[in-house]
Amino acid sequence: MTTNTMAAAVYRRFGSPDVVHVEQILKPTPKAGEVLIKVHSSTVSAADHRARSRDIPPGLGILAAIGIGLFRPSHHVLGMDVAGVVEAVGADVITFTPVTWLSSDLRRRSATTFGAAASSAATPSTSAFRRTAPSPGRPPT
């Protein structure tokens, strides 16, 4: 049985780490040229901290407001880097097939794309690269 929801680390307002909660949200559907990744690992970076807390370097306020939101977050799921297994592919994707191990930098979609802190993440196939399958007890390389 397939489901169209997934668990994700979601924040709906700016603030301390306490504003992040795990919620069930809609699973993305890969568009043409995209792959849907079943996430095995993602990063927590300085960009996630800055987006969540709205702790923006001086002089970048207007640009940050456009990218991360003015009064509340425009992207509710944090995380920019992801590693996992291809779950599904969109139209025109011939480089990857389901069960292919890969990694991706979601920022290749746009400079402010988040969404890796979830059970699944969609990313352009052009920003993904193959990984070897993990051995028992070892992460993929």
pLDDT given for residue 87 in this prediction? 93
- Main-chain phi, psi angles of 101, to 5 degrees: -80, 135
- Main-chain phi, psi angles of 108, to 5 degrees: -65, -20
What are the mean pLDDT values of the chain's consecutive 10-residue runs (141 residues total)?
83 94 94 92 86 82 77 86 92 88 71 78 86 65 53
Q: What share of the chain is helix, strand, coil (3-state, %, to 5)?
A: 20, 35, 50
Residue 135 lies in a domain: no
pLDDT given for residue 114 in this prediction? 80
Residue 86 lies in a domain: yes
Residue 138 lies in a domain: no
Residue 94 lies in a domain: yes
Residue 51 lies in a domain: yes
Domain region containing 116: 5-130
Residue 137 lies in a domain: no
Residue 54 lies in a domain: yes
Q: What is the CATH number of the domain that holds 101?
A: 3.90.180.10
Question: What is the domain count for the chain?
Answer: 1
